[in-house]
Structure 1
């Protein structure tokens, strides 16, 4: 029996040991291109160290670096050439590396492969990561819905819902479909769609959206849109559409790539024959010069003009709490002419706070706060919690016992405290006429400022009011002023009401605002801005901002934002510091200047080397020194961005 136990446990033990390996294999496969590029770089380093005493071993290591580092890009280049019937830079780089090897410069050829393979691996990694937001979006859509069929309740897949179906949605559940409320009253958190931080009360005929959260009451609703036509699905589609659109810069680069490769290969082809017949060069000299040309014309310095500068800028930004998702996004920042902001969670803190309170004559202020907070402490509504937080900020931490409490969905609460009935909620819940006249009509003035009013009433009428507002971030004014002073057109685009938007935009200092926007409308406004200003950025933090973030030339997300906003954006402000936008723009402009310097210098060197080679002034060692030396100088210039 002891032996039997050993036999049973041994496979289990091995199984546990195999688990980390099983988890590691998919990770290696996912990043295989990057691992191959880095490994080829390691082989090049070892080969260089061994070259003095072990030349044969070094050559073998260089050849291995060729094969390992160049396989993915060579395969990609060949497949694209066959599919598109168009030569590309991948083919040119492979030929340049082979040309280096033919004339005996194994290390140079291997380094060309390494640099190109590394940049390709990083590009692939970035592209794969940029599509993860679609998965994040889909996680918010419920898979099933509770359908009422006569006297029965049936759980069905959301994809099988039909127009006219009646669904039941319980408190705390995410809404599975776009529809219209038939029965019940509730409060719905629509921040995922509209960006509005304060939940919305809804009852009969109220419109509901997929992905929003039913907070309080149980409701039934009629399905008004098929699952593939909901507002939620439109958001997904808009994100996908914006990601698939190529920027003008990308289109120019792809067009330039084809011309460049054809020109270099045609020139090398001419150099293999023309000098022999036209200038009387010997075949050995002609072939030698053609191979030198292939080496010096390879875009090694041009590649180094961008990548080190980009990586340096990314490192610099990371130290300042600015996360860039790719070099093209940093480049675009320096070209911005306009910038649009979401309101909730971007310009503002995203949470309502008590900004004003007023009690009736004869009512003690602290008594009113204590009573209201004691009742609201039993509610999870954001406005209720804001009042509780306000009470604690006033050092009121001991709350009174509530004898009885009733939540009236969509209106407020009624409670019995020390035998006395209190009503807390909307204007219509406590008496609209009395609410309007309280304290000489102060509520109207507060509402004009974009504030939400909570009324507190007892048997003697309104005892007091609390005004709440989503306040702007601490450094918002200074950050927006920096952008305005830099000549950028600033705008706020929000799903909030006109009054709230007007108040916040004025307080923040943005030049213009657009209110009551759904996600697809935000996208349209970004497109309109793009027609007036060639380069536009969007700053947001919510799911509702994702399509606009993806549509803008540069999408900027707040670090505390939703996963979807973070994944969709091109730049993330990890510390939620709006002033970092101006820093990022300055860094972008500096990077663009350095890249232009690098490109001008590298092209000048290549042209000079090509002319010198044609005039037979340039021997291979000096060609290599000039070519690789220009690359080193370009990299050193790029490293200035680390400061």
Structure 2
């Protein structure tokens, strides 16, 4: 893509040099200057002529590229070589600028793909590691990443500890600590430790591969405005050609014009009425915006989704993993019957260390951070799914889990914690309550600010979650969400989205899990968290690669800016075309001025779209 943009710019520059040489030779050699102009035609117009001819043959219709080539050739045919050459030159420059815009929109992804190593250190059956092509890695393979090396594949850390610089994928400049159980991505940099990683995805499913696929899909999918303009172009080009032909033929018979004058006015009309600027009104702004969005960590699958984003007036959030971190932490420890906090949590952690349940991880982590871990192993460990665990320790039979499992009654403290929406774990020793542990989900740091920013844009916010009403209300209150829909199954989330649609709501759904996929697909725009489930990412229209909810308002503002610039471009390009046509009708426009006015407006429209690369 970059090569194409460079070649087109070089050819345009070469055409300009031949034009300048022809101007000089016009005073010296009348024959040579024509050949120099012809060279400018050939060099500057080849790329666009080829594109126009192939496109016309494929789609069986005329297009604006052919219109400009016909106008340039017609100008030369009636002796206006210089004007035709300038038309070709400026048309070539505008084409090179469009290619540059497209190249910029893929630059970040191309640079990311280039970071992915071609080889990996793969573990063999005898425990040794040998270099293997990344393309030959399979799910389940074990690889080693040394300090300073880039991670070659998506996977899970099974051994080792290191900080990994993930800015290429997430946009976050601060390295992330990776240890046992952490997810790592191909193309990111292992900074200071050895990591042993189990590959979890095939090459085509690596995060960087999916990002590249999303960008390619977005580039090829045209937004609604562009599709309307192209539909208009189909009829408009034919009208311009017919009008030019009539002006070339009829005035000599009806108005006694000289044939030379009639042909001249027809060529001017062919040049100034061509909708080049109008055709360039949408795609350069869109591609610039998509590039800007990708740089900020949001990938849109198609231009239509980005174009519609400024229309959103309702944003529905999943709770767990979207507004919250999706991990529970210990918030309260309430010992009972003469037990103290350290004793209670030490015993709980020793028993829970045998469990793989997420609640157990939270308890063990808290106890480790508070130095409450006991060097005593529980005996006769038993895990009852959905209820809790049982073990013998310190001469007592311990049960940890629900109130039903432990056989205790809820007291006022427990009822108060439940009303706050917290998850309660009861601990009983020989059937007597020893204490309670309350856990809560952690709200994302950026959630509150993200909600506030959406409210400033007059966007209604709603949280849809499968969690209890109390737990949902607690998170909603902290985040500042306008409305809560709790106890929602996947089909209930779809119903919520459809209910808002019926009220003329343009709903953006933000989620990360399998249960969010139906609602993401049903929404006006579906937005998946980048570290969410694959099915959610597939169902969504856009992906928040760094999980930063603050980017939602940024993208809404960027979409509004794009809409404003597209509107400016369309109004400006149409106004220029109308003014030039009127000037030509009153015999007040020369071909050189028509060329400059027409092609100059095209370049201005493209440059106006390129402004969206900033900010």
Q: Name the residue aligned to 1:368.
A: 344
Q: Name the residue aligned to 2:67.
A: 95
Q: Secondary structure at the match of 1:592?
A: helix
Q: Name the residue aligned to 1:454.
A: 425
Q: Secondary structure at the match of 1:516?
A: coil
Q: Name the residue aligned to 1:221.
A: none
Pick aligned residue for 1:532 from 503, 509, 514: 503
- How much has 1:369 moved relative to structure 2? 0.9
CA contact (8 A) 1:78 1:91 kept: no
Pick aligned residue for 2:416 from 435, 445, 453: 445
- How much has 1:605 moved relative to structure 2? 0.9
Change (3 A) 1:110 1:281: farther
1:288-307 aligned within 5 A: 288-307=264-283
- How much has 1:360 moved relative to structure 2? 0.5
Q: Name the residue aligned to 1:62.
A: 44
Supply the RMSD in Å over aligned alpha carbons. Answer: 3.5
- How much has 1:38 moved relative to structure 2? 6.7
Q: Name the residue aligned to 1:16.
A: none
Higher mean displacement: 559-568 or 245-254: 245-254
Pick aligned residue for 2:436 from 457, 465, 483: 465
CA distance in 2, matches of 1:386, 1:96: 68
CA distance in 2, matches of 1:427, 1:599: 67
Q: Which runs of 5+ in 1 are unaligned?
A: 1-30, 82-86, 126-244
CA contact (8 A) 2:420 2:470 kept: yes
Change (3 A) 1:607 1:246: closer
Pick aligned residue for 1:387 from 346, 363, 388: 363
- How much has 1:608 moved relative to structure 2? 0.8
Change (3 A) 1:418 1:40: same
1:147-546 aligned within 5 A: 252-253=228-229, 256-396=232-372, 399-431=375-407, 434-436=408-410, 440-546=411-517
- How much has 1:530 moved relative to structure 2? 2.1
Q: Do structure 1's residue 44 and structure 2's residue 26 form an aligned pair?
A: no
CA contact (8 A) 1:41 1:65 kept: no
Change (3 A) 1:51 1:325: farther
- How much has 1:363 moved relative to structure 2? 0.5
Change (3 A) 1:623 1:563: farther
Higher mean displacement: 105-114 or 482-491: 105-114
Change (3 A) 1:52 1:250: closer
Instruction: Encode CA deviations 1:311-366: one digit per residue, 9 max, x unaligned.
Output: 44344444544444554433322222221112121111111222222111310101
Pick aligned residue for 1:574 from 542, 545, 550: 545
Q: Name the residue aligned to 1:595.
A: 566
Change (3 A) 1:251 1:307: closer
1:82-121 aligned within 5 A: 87=61, 91-103=63-75, 104-105=84-85, 106-111=88-93
Residue correspondences, number? 478
Instruction: Encode CA deviations 1:555-581: one digit per residue, 9 max, x unaligned.
Output: 323232234434543443333222222
Q: Name the residue aligned to 2:183.
A: none
Change (3 A) 1:307 1:38: farther
Q: Secondary structure at the match of 2:461?
A: strand
- How much has 1:76 moved relative to structure 2? 4.8
Change (3 A) 1:425 1:107: same
- How much has 1:475 moved relative to structure 2? 2.4
Q: Secondary structure at the match of 1:334?
A: helix
CA contact (8 A) 1:526 1:548 kept: yes
Higher mean displacement: 290-299 or 345-354: 290-299
Q: Secondary structure at the match of 2:508?
A: strand
CA distance in 2, matches of 1:577, 1:585: 14
- How much has 1:443 moved relative to structure 2? 2.6
Instruction: Encode CA deviations 1:8-65: one digit per residue, 9 max, x unaligned.
Output: xxxxxxxxxxxxxxxxxxxxxxx8xx97677555543444455545655544433541
Change (3 A) 1:449 1:45: farther
CA distance in 1, matches of 2:248, 2:100: 31
Change (3 A) 1:46 1:80: same
CA contact (8 A) 2:494 2:522 kept: yes
CA distance in 2, matches of 1:116, 1:95: 18
- How much has 1:607 moved relative to structure 2? 0.9
Q: Name the residue aligned to 1:147.
A: none
Q: Secondary structure at the match of 1:351?
A: strand
Change (3 A) 1:552 1:49: farther
CA contact (8 A) 2:105 2:287 kept: no
Q: Secondary structure at the match of 2:598?
A: helix
Instruction: Encode CA deviations 1:388-422: one digit per residue, 9 max, x unaligned.
Output: 12223324456532333222233221122244321
Q: Secondary structure at the match of 1:576?
A: coil
- How much has 1:75 moved relative to structure 2? 4.2
Q: Secondary structure at the match of 2:281?
A: helix
CA contact (8 A) 1:92 1:265 kept: no
CA distance in 2, matches of 1:50, 1:520: 66
Change (3 A) 1:120 1:77: farther
Q: Secondary structure at the match of 2:421?
A: coil
